[in-house]
Amino acid sequence: MNDAIQFDVIVIGAGPGGYVAAIRCAQLGLRTGLVERSETFGGTCLNVGCIPSKALLDSSHRYFEITQRAEPHGIVVENVRLDLATMMARKDQVVRTLASGLASLFEANKVVTFRGHASLRSVSQVAVAADDEAPQLLVAKHVVLATGSVPAQLPDLPFDHELVVDSTDALCFDVVPHQLVVVGGGAVGLELASVWARLGAKVTVVEMMDQLLPGCDRQVSRMLHRILTGQGIDVMTQSSVVNLEKVNGRGRVMVKSGQDKTTELSADKILVAVGRRPFALGLGLEDIGVVTEDKTGQILVNDNFMTNIAGIYAVGDVVGAPMLAHKAEAEGIAVAEIIAGKPGQVNYEAIPNVVYTAPEVAVVGKTQQQLRNAGIQYEAGVFHFRSNGRALAADSREGFVKILADRRTDRVLGVHIIGPWASDLIAEAVEVMEFGGSAEDIARTVHAHPTLSEVVGEAAMAVGNRSIHSVPRKP
């Protein structure tokens, strides 16, 4: 082993949590080393998650708009042909561009990067083993673990990465499957179901719970269910796969719904998208006594992201839900500031969650059910995109904004959006909630006309039953 290299901070994992932590540590004057075992930086999000899926969602949406929705706009297009290889190449180029940008950021911030598998030799020592090279020993007072997560498996549907696939596989099909069964009606399952349905696959989504996007606002979930069904996606809730037979490379799937109904589905591909689990394999946590949760494997940390071992921290998916890239980034910044002796924190009540279907779903804060269960009295304001001029002009009229505010103080407690560009519209709500703002604050904010943001303003006014462009609720 080579001589030890000294750092103030060593970060293990270059995904959203890790690379952000490393850059912020460097900005704060800490000599920082960053270890990544993969060939590219960016983790799951950049390489096989958020970014490539959004590239395919955008491409497939354009294809769908041209083939299915162009004529009402006076656009007549004939002989449209799908070139899936080119679509995939564009997706890969987007990923490469962003990954190379990260390398430039590390260099500019003087973050020293290492390729290889990292393992903890002691509280302050990290060994990095790369292929055909002598291991390197890194030493630092502070170590940040940001090793992310991997797709969760079902015992009865193990991945073979040919018929039964995970989300990574589903980003790389070389042909459009004729029939695709998606097990799991969460964000990942619905986004990938949308991609392949738009490109011509017959898609069936099987969800064990009684609604799509379990835990989401029920009104939002019901509308999304209806819209996706209208887009040709079959949805089976309160259902589960009970048997799979492989016949000539295809699958025969038996799905049980309710008490006694059984449905047989054929599939060229079966995508299992039932969530993710923390990944900390091979770090040597048990050797130095870092405590993890027995069932999930997540690393347990305190409010300062420190494990039970002083000097060892963890952020991102490896510490558990919500497993979101922007949550990991926020934790990465916070842990860097804490290590540097500054106050660092994350407001978990104001972390948005987005599903990039068409229309999009974006939520932050509490649902009505959660408020009822907690005994919190609230007022709800709802405004629909169908009453918004910009939405009608853009032929994007489906959906609504719902704002929930404390009945006594008017403080915004939750915002739920289904509609066009919900992913961007939610930012206003997040900012208001971050500063403890009220529905009145949103209502009195001037929103440009004509824009989709006016729907947010109208929903805020509807909290007080004074929306201008909708019929008032009866007292």
Residues with catalytic function = 449
Q: Are 274 and 281 in contact (CB under 8 A)?
A: no
The residues with which 419 forms a beta bridge, in sequence order, are: 360
164-165 sheet: strands from edge to edge:
164-165, 269-272, 179-183, 202-206, 234-236
The dihedral formed by the CA atoms of 363, 368, 370 and 372, expressed in degrees to the nearest 10: 170
Give kind and range of the element (H or E) at residue 197: helix 187-198
Q: How far apart are CA 395 and CA 432, in angstroms?
A: 29
Provide CB contacts within 8 A for 238, sequence distance 6+.
Answer: 207, 208, 209, 210, 257, 258
DSSP classification of residue 470:
S
Q: Are 355 and 213 in contact (CB under 8 A)?
A: yes
Q: How far apart are CA 395 and CA 184, in angstroms?
A: 30
Nearest CA to 235 out of 246, 244, 224 is that of: 224
Provide CB contacts within 8 A for 321, sequence distance 6+.
Answer: none
Q: How far apart are CA 21 and CA 26, in angstroms?
A: 9
Q: Are 283 and 120 in contact (CB under 8 A)?
A: yes
Phi, psi of 138 (to 5 degrees): -110, 140
**Paired tokens of 312:** 């060892």
Q: How far apart are CA 292 and CA 150, in angstroms?
A: 16
Provide CB contacts within 8 A for 377, sequence distance 6+.
Answer: 406, 407, 408
The 10 Å CB-count burial string (b at 16+, else e) for 167-181 is bbbbbebeebbebbb
C-alpha distance from residue 142 to each of 1, 111, 123, 305, 307 (Å) = 21, 15, 8, 12, 11
